[in-house]
């Protein structure tokens, strides 16, 4: 007879499964400085690579003289496009269906573009040699404005000249990349023409950069004896990188091992393939030695993967009572010199078509034009799922502008337009099926938590006091209700370079009842080693502390598309649960055999299988694990392993209600965030502590983007914000404390109901901070002003509104 | 390339000697010559603080100093704070309060925080935010870092009181 203590609740707690704020297993290494990041990797005989970069934004490369550089002791090689051309590696495919120069092939298209790659014995010699490479340029006219580019005779991409068909359909002009349309243009125009109220607003979502604290880098090591290439690097998608490297180098995929070690933050910066990776591989092949390349911060900000740069014009139609009847959105997207976005193939503007937001808008139309300019390529999803940040900013600003036009309260306007709980699954006018939501509940909870009516009263009093000259500070109440679309994605419509965006998990249970699970994703701070073990603990009844999670080594992990767009939990998390269920199914058969009953007569209970109706007769998962390795069970293979490749049936749609209360000094433009309340609904919550940490971090990145962070160019295409002296990263001093809250609306199609959360605070945070700034000046006639709302721009706004007397 | 010089440092209680170019930055000397890879490089302009170490009792960004300037100095890095079987209170506290995510800034953060609490054993939240403003974190939004440091301060003070 088995002992039935501890009870199932205590046994469940001991597993540290779903819902447990389990301490992170990663931290034991990290707090001791024992992380292993790419720049920590040292291989015997390793060389260092460094780039000669273009000082010009648009120029012809007349000549490159390597002699002086090669004469410097310690310099091993200097590679140019001419050297790469015989291998076909002077250009590489981008994830967006375009191609990109690895090294300048006759011309340069943006400042900082890679012109030559120097390989030397150490990084100092490499940097010295970079200075000795003489490059002669002939300057060409520079286009930094996408509207000007579309009207200019200057041809940026001469390699595409005459090509009227691009990767995403017809090209209208030699600097045009694609037009992407969604929804019904004619029907939307009819709604706009006949609407009681129409407001139009143009807004620019400025160019910024994900700027993880660790820059991008790689170490390539070609073993000349075995013909096997090992490539370590800052890869958010190691498996896809392996495939890309194989496709462009011709090395068979089984001879390439890609390893993502610890990654010091990604935020979208580390999804794409960069020249540094390719050149390091070539240099290792050429020299027969391992080659390391790690970009510095200036190179990171100037050249690898910017985000946004979207010029958006919206028209919103509504009744006089505020019911929205139609939405029109026209975007001009600045993609820089090459189209190097990292969106799913069929979505050249990402999921911008989520721009109807949380609202029941019956008719809508979206058109996006991608344009080449003399700026760095990218357009990646900086802490968001494929242009969702842009979409949410757009609709949340349009709602505010409509509220002004209607002279309505913006919270009430949102409330009367929310998609209702009973409308889910909801088919949006721009083509998505929102899986689940309860927006009214979240909104009402948020309004109550912040005391919304009281805040409005206080604000009105402040405006009066300001007018009486008793204060110089205005008060803004920023509102946002966002709906995200994360977890790309269903293979039927989501692929990158033809690779379906499924993800995977492989589990091996050891005889003594511990386990290892390997996934196709890679953590960059999200805590996968902690949370995926929790999913498994609840699924297979072994303690999370006995489960190792391993990611990032393509020789050992199953194929997956990696970590970005909040896809890890929705896709790989689902694969983990499904693989766990396969383990459990076999465990059930083993348990039934051991208990000498039929398979259907045992049931799973937290950490064991027990005979139905006789809970004292059971076998724990630990016992079952051992039995899998020592019993000859008729009809069953030995061992206990499973693998799942999960193709999600739909995206998941996390949402949230945010409120920001801000004081603004009209005379200095200085903003002070008095309060920030963030309610997130990410479905089932795996680890509340980690969710809250993600929310704090995402909000801080949102604060940065909304209030000061930008990649700015001058007219000659010079980057004006290429160091941390100019590029705003908030410190502890500039950041408030955040209040977090939640509701739980599980995803109906995800195995454990989870939706993904890492990016929500950024997606919702940016419009919330921006709306707070706008709201402070609403009483004085401000309708819209572009981000970033740094102090001088706010001062200028106040000045233009005549608030400086 | 310049002529190499003989450098002597005491790092984490151990005397270390090696040859280095005087122009080498201290952070690279630590990382490349001594394999001390806890301190990281996050920028080129001494803004991010990922390379923070303690030199002769002061918090220093080791990317802002040549190895020649550090010759003869006593240096403590994250590797010298706590041991695997006996973590420093701050190391425990960062884990307890989720004061880190990707871990890249963490060595600099904790190294700086140890000095901060020596300089001011009873900091207010404002003192912590100001005292840590030379260290950038891109992941946490600082809230839990501040919490970790305040909690460690109170734990260290309780331990001190108990000892008296």
Write out pLDDT tens, residues A614-668: 999 999 999 999 999 998 999 999 999 999 999 999 999 999 999 999 999 999 9
Residue partners of B75: CB distance under 8 A and separation at least 6? B9, B10, B11, B12, B30, B53, B54, B55
Mean pLDDT of chain A: 96
Q: Is residue A586 over pLDDT 70?
A: yes
Domain co-membership, A589 together with A678: no
The predicted structure's pLDDT at residue A566: 85
B4 touches chain A (CB under 8 A): no
* Residues in CB range of B127: below 8 A, 6 or more apart: B120
Decide if A334 is inside a domain.
no
Q: Which of A701, A759, A768, A778 is catalytic?
A: A759
My answer on whether A231 and A106 are in the same domain is yes
Q: A421 with A517, same domain?
A: no
Contact B98 A725 (CB under 8 A): no
Q: Which of residues 12-31 of B touch A (CB under 8 A)?
A: 21, 23-24, 28, 31
Do A641 and A773 share a domain, yes or no? no
Q: Which residues of B touch A23 (CB under 8 A)?
A: 95-96, 98
Is A437 inside a domain boundary? yes
In this predicted structure, what is the pLDDT of residue A3?
61
- Tell me whether residue A730 is in a domain: yes
**CB distance A621 to A544 below 8 Å:** no
- Of A591, A618, A646, the domain-final residue: A646
Which residue in chain B is spatially nearest to A687 when comparing CA positions? B98
For chain B, list the domains and their CATH numbers. Answer: 5-80 (3.10.20.30), 89-163 (1.10.150.120)
A481 and A569, same domain (yes or no): no
pLDDT for the residue A64 = 98
Does A231 reside within a domain? yes
Please give, rounded to a whole number of angstroms, the shortest distance from the CA of B62 to a CA of chain A: 15
d(CA A227, CA A157): 36
Of the pLDDT bands very low, low, confident and very high (cuts 50, 70, 90), residue A489 is confident
The Cα A386–Cα A379 span in angstroms is 9
Residue A235 lies in a domain: yes
Task: Determine whether the interchain pair A37/B133 forms a contact, defined as Cβ–Cβ distance below 8 Å.
Answer: no
Domain boundary among A623, A646, A669: A646
C-alpha Rg value of chain A to the nearest Å: 28
Q: What band does A607 get if pLDDT is binned at 50, 70 and 90? A: very high
A2 has pLDDT over 70: no
Residue from A24, A31, A263, A704 whose CB has the most chain B CBs within 10 Å, to mutate = A31
Same domain, residue pair A440 and A587: no
Of the three residues A646, A665, A697, the one that is the final residue of a domain is A646
Mutate to test the interface with B, among A40, A128, A208, A213 (most CBs of B within 10 A): A213
Task: Specify whether A96 is located in the same domain as A237.
Answer: yes
Report the CATH number that the domain containing residue A45 is assigned in CATH: 3.90.1170.50
Segment A246-285, tens digit of pLDDT = 988 899 999 999 999 999 999 999 998 899 999 999 999 9
Per-residue model confidence as pLDDT tens digits over A101-134: 999 999 999 999 999 999 999 999 999 999 999 9
Contact (CB<8Å) B101/A34: no
A384 is catalytic: yes
Contacts across the A-B interface (CB distance below 8 Å): 181
Q: How far apart, in whole angstroms, are the C-alpha atoms of residue B90 and residue A27?
A: 12
**What is the per-residue pLDDT for B116?**
98
Range of the domain at A134: 38-140+215-263+271-303
Q: Are residues A637 and A679 in the same domain?
A: no
Q: Is B55 in contact with B93 (CB distance < 8 Å)?
A: no
By the CB < 8 Å criterion, does B38 face chain A?
Answer: yes
Assess whether pLDDT exceeds 50 at residue A1.
no
Percentage of residues of chain A with pLDDT beyond 70: 100
Tell whether A167 is covered by a domain.
no
pLDDT at A364 over 70: yes
Of A53, A207, A308, A383, which one is the catalytic site residue? Answer: A383
Catalytic residue, chosen from A355, A384, A505, A768, is A384
A597 and A700 both lie in a single domain: no
Residue A383 is among the residues annotated as catalytic for this protein: yes
Q: Are B140 and A37 in contact (CB < 8 Å)?
A: no
Lowest mean pLDDT across A66-70, A202-206, A379-383, B121-125: A379-383
**Interface membership of B66 toward A (CB under 8 Å):** no
Structure letter (DSSP) for residue B93: H
Q: How confident is the model at residue A469 (pLDDT cuts 50, 70, 90)?
A: very high
Q: Can you give the CATH number for the domain in which A448 is found?
A: 3.30.365.10
| A527/B101 Cβ within 8 A | yes
Set of chain A residues whose Cβ sits within 8 Å of the Cβ of B128: 732
CB contact under 8 A, A125 and B40: no
In angstroms, the CA A800 to CA A795 distance is: 9
- For the segment B135-144, the average pLDDT, to the nearest whole number, is 98
**Tens digits of per-residue pLDDT, B79-123?**
999 999 999 999 999 999 999 999 999 999 999 999 999 999 999
Structural domain tally of chain A?
A: 3
* Within-domain flag for A169: no
Same domain, A463 and A612: no
Strands A547-551 and A515-519 come out as: parallel
Q: Label residues A710-719 b or e (16+ Cβ within 10 Å = b).
A: bbebeeebbb
Q: Which residues of chain B does A267 touch, with a Cβ-Cβ cutoff of 8 Å?
A: 138
Task: Determine the Cα–Cα distance for residues A330 and A794; give it in Å rounded to an integer.
Answer: 27
Cα angle value B97/B99/B102 (rounded, 5°): 135
Cβ within 8 Å, pair A213-B137: yes
Q: Do A27 and B95 make contact, defined as CB atoms within 8 angstroms?
A: yes
In B, which residues are within 8 Å of A760 by CB distance?
Answer: none
Does residue A107 lie within any of the structural domains? yes
* A759 flagged as catalytic: yes
B/e letters for A546-574, b = 16+ CB within 10 Å, e = fewer, are bbebebbbbeebbbbbbbbbbbbbbbbbb
ipTM over 0.95: yes
pTM: 0.97
A47 lies in the same domain as A125: yes
Q: Are A535 and A576 in contact (CB under 8 A)?
A: yes
- Is A295 in the active site? no
Tell whether B143 lies on the interface with A, counting CB pairs under 8 A.
yes
Inspect the interface and report whether the beta carbons of B142 and A700 lie closer than 8 Å: yes
Cβ pair A737:B139 closer than 8 A: no
CA triple A405-A408-A414, angle to 5 deg: 105
Give residues with Cβ within 8 angstroms of A306, minimum separation 6.
A207, A208, A209, A336, A375, A376, A377, A378, A379, A380, A711
Same-domain pairing of A79 and A46: yes
User: Cα separation of A453 and A630, whole Å?
Assistant: 68
């Amino acid at each position: 007879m088995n002992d039935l203590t501890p009870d199932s609740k205590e046994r469940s707690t001991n597993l540290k499964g779903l819902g447990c704020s389990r301490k992170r297993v990663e931290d034991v290494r990290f707090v001791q400085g024992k992380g292993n990041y790419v720049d920590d990797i040292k291989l015997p005989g390793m060389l260092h690579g460094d780039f000669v970069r273009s000082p010009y934004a648009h120029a012809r490369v007349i000549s490159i003289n390597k002699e002086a550089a090669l004469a410097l002791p310690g310099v091993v090689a200097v590679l140019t496009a001419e050297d790469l051309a015989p291998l076909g590696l002077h250009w590489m495919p981008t994830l967006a269906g375009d191609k990109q120069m690895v090294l300048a092939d006759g011309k340069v298209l943006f400042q900082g573009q890679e012109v030559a790659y120097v390989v030397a014995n150490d990084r100092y010699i490499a940097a010295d040699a970079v200075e000795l490479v003489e490059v002669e340029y002939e300057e060409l006219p520079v286009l930094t404005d996408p509207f000007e580019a579309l009207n200019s005779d200057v041809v940026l991409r001469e390699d595409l000249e005459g090509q009227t068909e691009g990767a995403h359909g017809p090209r209208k002009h030699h600097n045009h990349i694609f037009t992407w349309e969604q929804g019904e243009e004619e029907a939307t125009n009819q709604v706009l023409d006949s609407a009681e109220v129409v407001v139009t607003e143009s807004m620019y979502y400025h160019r910024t950069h994900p700027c993880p604290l660790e820059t991008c880098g790689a170490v390539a090591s070609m073993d000349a004896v075995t013909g096997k290439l090992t490539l370590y690097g800052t890869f958010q998608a190691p498996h896809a990188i392996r495939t890309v490297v194989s496709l462009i180098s011709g090395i068979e995929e089984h001879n390439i091992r890609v390893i993502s070690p610890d990654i010091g933050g990604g935020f979208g910066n580390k999804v794409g393939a960069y020249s540094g990776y390719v050149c390091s591989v070539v240099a290792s092949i050429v020299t027969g030695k391992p080659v390391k390349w790690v970009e510095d911060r200036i190179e990171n900000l100037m050249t690898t993967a910017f985000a946004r740069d979207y010029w958006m014009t919206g028209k919103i139609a509504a009744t006089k009572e505020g019911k929205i009847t139609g939405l029109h959105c026209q975007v001009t997207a600045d993609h820089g010199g090459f189209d190097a976005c990292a969106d799913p193939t069929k979505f050249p503007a990402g999921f911008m078509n989520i721009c109807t937001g949380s609202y029941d808008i019956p008719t809508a139309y979206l058109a996006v034009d991608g344009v080449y300019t003399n700026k760095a390529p990218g357009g990646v999803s900086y802490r968001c799922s494929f242009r969702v940040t842009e979409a949410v900013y757009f609709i949340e600003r349009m709602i505010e502008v409509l509220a002004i036009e209607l002279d309505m309260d913006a919270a009430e306007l949102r409330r009367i337009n929310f998609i209702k709980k009973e409308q889910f699954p909801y088919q949006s006018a721009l083509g998505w099926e929102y899986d689940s939501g309860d927006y009214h509940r979240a909104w009402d909870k948020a309004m109550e938590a912040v005391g919304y009516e009281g805040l409005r009263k206080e604000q009105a009093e402040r405006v009066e006091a300001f007018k009486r000259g008793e204060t110089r500070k205005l008060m803004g109440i920023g509102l946002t209700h966002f709906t995200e679309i994360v977890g790309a994605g269903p293979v039927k419509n989501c692929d990158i370079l033809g690779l379906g965006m499924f993800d995977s998990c492989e589990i091996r249970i050891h005889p003594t009842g511990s386990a290892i699970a390997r996934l196709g994703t890679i953590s960059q701070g999200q805590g996968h080693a902690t949370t995926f073990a929790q999913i498994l603990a609840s699924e297979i009844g072994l303690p999370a502390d006995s489960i190792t999670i391993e990611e990032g080594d393509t020789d050992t992990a199953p194929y997956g598309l990696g970590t970005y767009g909040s896809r890890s939990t929705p896709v790989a998390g689902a694969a983990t649960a499904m693989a766990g269920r396969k383990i459990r199914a076999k465990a059930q058969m083993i348990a039934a055999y051991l208990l000498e009953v039929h398979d259907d007569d045992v049931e799973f209970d937290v950490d064991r299988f027990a005979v139905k109706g006789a809970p004292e007769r059971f076998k724990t998962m630990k016992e079952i694990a051992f039995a899998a390795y020592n019993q000859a069970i008729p009809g069953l293979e030995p061992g206990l392993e499973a693998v799942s490749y999960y193709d999600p049936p739909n995206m998941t749609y996390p949402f949230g209600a945010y409120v920001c209360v801000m004081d603004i000094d009209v005379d200095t433009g200085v903003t002070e965030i008095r309060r920030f309340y963030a309610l997130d609904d990410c479905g089932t919550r795996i680890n509340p502590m980690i969710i809250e940490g993600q929310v704090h971090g995402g909000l801080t990145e949102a604060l940065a983007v909304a209030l000061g962070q930008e990649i700015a160019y001058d007219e000659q295409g010079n980057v004006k914000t290429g160091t941390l002296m100019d590029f705003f990263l908030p410190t502890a001093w500039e950041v408030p404390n955040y209040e977090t809250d939640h509701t739980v609306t599980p995803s109906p199609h995800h195995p454990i109901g989870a939706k993904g959360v890492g990016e929500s605070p950024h997606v919702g945070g940016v419009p919330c901070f921006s709306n707070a700034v706008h709201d402070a000046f609403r009483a004085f006639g401000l309708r819209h002003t572009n981000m970033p709302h740094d102090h001088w721009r706010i001062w200028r706004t106040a000045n233009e509104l005549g608030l400086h007397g | 390339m310049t002529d190499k010089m003989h450098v002597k440092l005491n790092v984490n209680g151990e005397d270390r000697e090696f040859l280095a170019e005087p122009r080498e930055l201290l952070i690279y000397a630590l990382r490349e010559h001594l394999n001390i890879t806890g301190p990281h490089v996050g920028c080129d302009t001494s803004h991010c603080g990922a390379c923070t170490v303690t030199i002769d009792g002061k918090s220093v960004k080791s990317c802002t100093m040549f190895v020649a300037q550090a010759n003869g100095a006593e240096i403590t890095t994250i590797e010298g704070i706590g041991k695997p079987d006996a973590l420093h209170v701050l190391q425990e506290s960062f884990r307890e309060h989720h004061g880190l995510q990707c871990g890249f800034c963490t060595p600099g953060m904790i190294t700086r925080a140890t000095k901060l609490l020596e300089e001011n054993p009873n900091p207010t939240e404002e003192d912590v935010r100001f005292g840590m403003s030379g260290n950038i974190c891109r992941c946490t939004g600082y809230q839990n870092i501040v919490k970790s440091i305040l909690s460690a301060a109170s734990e260290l003070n309780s331990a001190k009181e108990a000892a008296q």
